[in-house]
A and B are shown apart, each in its own frame.
Chain A
Amino acid sequence: EVQLVESGGGLVQPGGSLRLSCATSGFPFSSYWMSWVRQAPGRGLEWVGNIKEDGSEQNCVDSVKGRLTISRDNAKNSLFLQMNTLRIEDTAVYYCATSGWPWYWGQGTLVTVSS
């Protein structure tokens, strides 16, 4: 059974940091680009960034460049999102997903940035 389980979300103050994790199983994690996608409360979806199979290349949207960094540990089938200098507008549910086919998604973890 394919599983992607995000963790690490919670309440953090503006300017703070948080590290999200995504533990995967049931598919060859190291063979796929992986992504983070977020959804602010009551809003649409935003693709945050992705990372190549071996971690040698990453892409992030301009709104998070320099603050959010994607990494992975293929030995542990895990994906990470390091979030620094958080802003109120980063409040969202964060999903990990394969970058395209086979289109696997996790259930998300909520990050709330508030004082």
Chain B
Amino acid sequence: EIVMTQSPATLSVSPGERATLSCRASQSVSNNLAWYQQKPGQAPRILIYTASTRATGIPARFSGSGSGTEFTLTISSLQSEDFAVYYCHQYNNWPWTFGQGTKVDI
């Protein structure tokens, strides 16, 4: 099983600041990597897939990069609605796995 490790566990930032979230895979997942946003009481929402493709309707302030084992999600200028938990997810090898999440808060 591929283990996905996210860092940091919690990221404290202010509105308007840049946030950089990291995700590391225990072995290469090529570019089969997605990022999700989840708010309390809600289902996860897809942000990024194939490591860098924004999903439909996702604002341009969200960007993804990386390949192989190292990936980054960048939020260029945090808005109030961006405070949430973010998960990376590999779908290169079964079983598909998620990182443990990064909480972005104020």
Contacts and interface: CB of A to CB of B under 8 A. Distances in A.
Contacts of A54: none
A61 B36 CA distance: 21
Contact of A44 (B55, B91, B96, B101): B101
A95 B87 contact: no
**Most chain A beta-carbon neighbours within 10 Å: one of B43, B44, B45, B101:** B43
Nearest to A48: B95
B37 to A, nearest CB: 12
Interface size class of A (residues with CB under 8 A): 10 to 19
Contact of A100 (B36, B49, B101): B49
Interface of A: 35, 44-47, 50, 59, 61-62, 95, 99-101, 103, 105-108
Interface of B: 34, 36, 42-46, 49, 55, 87, 89, 91, 94-101
17 contacts: A35-B96, A44-B87, A44-B98, A44-B99, A45-B44, A46-B98, A47-B89, A47-B98, A59-B94, A99-B91, A100-B91, A103-B34, A103-B49, A105-B43, A105-B45, A107-B42, A107-B43
